[in-house]
Amino acid sequence: MQGKLMTSTDKRKVLVVGMGATGLSCVRYLHALGDEVTIIDSRDVPPGLKALREEYTDVEIITGTLESPLYESADLLVVSPGVSIRTPVIAKAIERGVEVAGDVELFARAINETGANVIAITGSNGKSTVTSLVGKICKAAGKNTLVGGNIGKPVLELLDEPVADVYVLELSSFQLETTQSLSTLSAVVLNISEDHMDRYSSLEDYAGSKATIYNNCKHTLINRDDDVASSLVSGGDNVVSFGMSVPKTDKEYGIDADGLFIVCGTEKLLALSDIRMLGQHNIGNVMAAMALVAPLTIPLDVISGVTKQFSGLAHRSQVVAEASGVSWVNDSKATNVGATIAALQGINRPVILIAGGEGKDADFDPLGKVITQYVKHLILIGRDAKLIEASAKGVECTHAASMEQAVAIASKAASSGDAVLLSPACASFDMYNSFEHRGNVFSEAVRNQVIEGAGQ
């Protein structure tokens, strides 16, 4: 997948596989370079089709299939993150030696020559939170900062702006599969838990795709509490770690012996009481953000000032209501087992848990063990509800046909001092358009049934 930076003099035949926002950004970028671009998508009417036809009348568009003789003649395949490079027609092209890249790889080839700083974040959970916090810290420090990737703008659209001081990129395993050349100032794999097992053959396979974020990295950050994530790095002078333990060296971020402060080595950085986000996992997210920006030598008062004001992102352990002593928490972004485990461990209250959806071939047994420890009533929705129920033996369980029904059941089951937590451990697409849609339906149901119903 290696290749040189393409310029307008390197006219190639390029086949972009997969439309959507990323595919469209690739077409725009490659077309501007003067390449001969064709785009193909298995869907009959993929998103962005109308806009693409109107904007680029000279771009050939193939829909309803991924099969095409163009794989034989293409100089370059640019594969969107939603399409696996193990798709037979793509895998065969790779075997024949056809170059394959993704949008992040194209971005890397362009930006590496500028000398700009890139901070890259991946992991099963917490990517968006850490990316957003890092971006806010850099901006508050007066640095021209652009944030994108798996959050916000596709990375190639960042190239439409003047070269930034810092690029903060959230990268998924899908994006990293086709990325080889990205050079970073600092990078992290926040954690690894089972996710996308419908796309990867094993947890090791999934972790390996994320490990490429450490290629060409000046300052490597690892989570020392995560055995799989930390095993992706063999060590070295440029490695720094974060975790919930007391640091042993000045290259470790952690918690002080009194359990009151985030520290680096022995230096106190931030009181835990100043973190507005719920859960121990968000303490780790704050540590990671602090460590990632450390090479930029941003003053501590700037870092702590931003962090104290940062309340997190919507749909991520977000308290949407407090009523009759019950907290209602929207954690719809928890689309895998690890995220829901982290949410449950961070609530510090008896929990009524709403979970379920598309399980993506995940193993729910680890979640079941945590449910039996923290959950007083389990409410299940969606396609794979029975799989979760089977893993959580001995816990009172109710099935709901809709989110509205789930909220109604939870309202009756909850007592003062409890938390009702939507943390599905599953994708949303069996019932909703996205995790945002699912979270919004939950929040609306809480507003209608709990807040307005109580006359608050």
For strand 184-189 and strand 166-170, is the pairing parallel, antiparallel, or unpaired? Answer: unpaired
Q: Yes or no: say if 70 and 38 are a contact pair by the CB < 8 Å rule.
A: yes
- Report the SS3 class of residue 238: coil
Looking up tokens 């904007």, which residue turns up?
55
Question: Tokens 């510090």 correspond to what residue?
Answer: 348
Joined tokens for residue 445: 């149901």
φ/ψ (deg, to 5) at 66: -105, 0
Q: How far is CA 292 from CA 35, 134, 186, 299, in A?
A: 36, 8, 6, 14
Helix residue ranges, H only, 316-418: 337-347, 365-374, 385-391, 403-413
Distances (CA, A) of 344 to 107, 259, 288, 339: 38, 20, 21, 9
Q: Which of 127, 219, 315, 360 is catalytic?
A: 127
Residue 136 has which token pair?
A: 């806010």
> Which is catalytic among the residues 117, 125, 136, 196?
196
Indicate which residue of 150, 223, 282, 285 is catalytic. 150
Nearest to 287 by CA among 241, 328, 234: 241
Which residues are CB-neighbours of 236 under 8 A, at least 6 positions away?
220
Asked if 127 is an active-site residue, the reply is yes
Compute the distance between CA of residue 22 and CA of residue 40 in angstroms, rounded to an integer. Answer: 13
DSSP-assigned beta bridge partners for residue 217: 184
Q: How many CA within 13 A on the CB side of residue 181?
A: 19
Q: Would you state the structure tokens that stand for residue 261, as one six-digit string? A: 């402060």
Cα–Cα dist 365/369, whole Å: 6
Query: Residue 399 catalytic?
Result: no
CA distance linking residue 167 with residue 170, whole number of Å: 10
State yes or no: is 150 an active-site residue.
Answer: yes
CA distance 167 to 327: 37
* Residues taking part in catalysis: 127, 150, 196
